[in-house]
Structure 1
């Protein structure tokens, strides 16, 4: 990673932590609205992958790590209920009714988020303006990375939305560009075998692990322990992992660790390249404002 980008590394941790705080605040309200209005919550979860057309191929452009059979089951459920309609080439057209429904439940979360009152020098319009600079620069940046995630995600905030809602939207735009950056850096190493990549990530997470432990930790991915065992065997074959002295337990090799570090460095290089549009003073201001937002969201969450 270029030396000039090193001071920026602290930003991604702060941005992601702030997004997680926002999710914890809005998602209970989104889930309540979905239940009350009989709207599939998956329309919210998969809105980040776009609400134009659905297909396994399209979903795997941003999420190559989830079992595609899980997507197939989702498509079947949504098709039966009329939320999506089959079209040629294995795709489904998302209906306008579905887009309206997704917007409705996401706005339920945004209404609650709009009750957040900034204080102690937190300037939400200014923060939104700073984040917008980065979002616009991401869109104008040369490839790689390809801009699938930022071009596809379903946006709800508008020009007249409250500043906090605009901040949320810009943060998720930046989150999408992080995914674009990571996949551009990582995909050449795993191609279609995303499960092998998440296995390597689990091994590097700290302790030695088994296929069963990965399956339990990654239950939301939709794979079984035997799937992870096959992936672990593949990781051993390519030199990313090795068996420990304990039967069935694996750890990363030096080659596997170096590969992950190499991909993270390239991810950061892609991700931060557009940030050159920001001056040093703007970056300092952005970090200060983001830190205040993060800390005040924690306070807000505790109060409600």
Structure 2
């Protein structure tokens, strides 16, 4: 049985990577250039929680509410407060974010960049049909049911991460795009479950992780 720990994170990340690589490769010479070539800022600290690209995603998940360092670190409990703030300030200097006190929101330019990113992903995935269409649609429907049920979860574990992740759902997006976002949502609910384990003991995430390493 798959547990809500690093195993589901590995599964969702590997699934997303395999699907997207397959879709992109299938396009051959028609594949659109990666947005990081157009916006080099998106490459800064790529792969880390405190990266420009991931912080833009986090602003989108809170939109229209502002993102703060405190809200970001509710889920990204192991992230560096100083690095996250530096990345947000860098995005602000690029003209993509506004800041009032410690609250960050999109500028029109930043919102346009995120919309361009969505459209880029859709362009890669819209015609990708790796298995029979009826099976893809059935998988989409089943995963949607699981996620809808997860949104009704009590506390613990709560649905703080999942609710914000689903704030970026595009209902009329191509089915393969929706499947990739389902994987993102499952990972968010995994984080809700992860957070619930150490909140129960009234300790912070860093302490819990240290104890986990000692136990291993």
Would the alpha carbon gap of residues 177 and 154 (structure 1) be closer, same or farther in structure 2, given more than 3 Å must change? closer
Query: Residues 90-129 of structure 1: matches in 2 within 5 Å?
Result: 90-119=102-131, 123-129=135-141
Contact between 2:52 and 2:91, CA under 8 Å: does it hold in 1? no
Tell me what 1:139 maps to. 151
Tell me what 2:58 maps to. 49
Contact between 1:107 and 1:156, CA under 8 Å: does it hold in 2? no
Tell me what 2:37 maps to. 35
Tell me what 1:22 maps to. 16
Tell me what 2:97 maps to. 84
- Per-residue deviation at 1:181? 1.2
Q: Please, which of 161, 171, 175 is the counterpart of residue 173 of structure 2?
A: 161
Would the alpha carbon gap of residues 18 and 110 (structure 1) be closer, same or farther in structure 2, given more than 3 Å must change? farther
Would the alpha carbon gap of residues 124 and 10 (structure 1) be closer, same or farther in structure 2, given more than 3 Å must change? farther
Q: CA RMSD in A?
A: 3.4
More displaced stretch, 17-26 vs 164-173: 17-26
Aligned residue-pair number: 197
Report the TM-score, using the length of structure 2 for normalisation: 0.73
Query: Residues 66-85 of structure 1: matches in 2 within 5 Å?
Result: 66-85=79-98
- Per-residue deviation at 1:32? 1.8
Would the alpha carbon gap of residues 71 and 12 (structure 1) be closer, same or farther in structure 2, given more than 3 Å must change? closer
Would the alpha carbon gap of residues 152 and 97 (structure 1) be closer, same or farther in structure 2, given more than 3 Å must change? farther
Contact between 2:8 and 2:190, CA under 8 Å: does it hold in 1? no
Q: What SS does the aligned partner of 1:150 have?
A: helix
Structure 1: any 5+ residue segments left out of the alignment?
1-6, 204-251, 258-304
Would the alpha carbon gap of residues 114 and 75 (structure 1) be closer, same or farther in structure 2, given more than 3 Å must change? same
Contact between 1:49 and 1:149, CA under 8 Å: does it hold in 2? no
Distance 2:39 2:135 in 1: 35
Report the TM-score, using the length of structure 1 for normalisation: 0.54
- Per-residue deviation at 1:54? 2.2
Would the alpha carbon gap of residues 177 and 129 (structure 1) be closer, same or farther in structure 2, given more than 3 Å must change? same
Contact between 2:97 and 2:104, CA under 8 Å: does it hold in 1? yes
Distance 1:50 1:146 in 2: 21
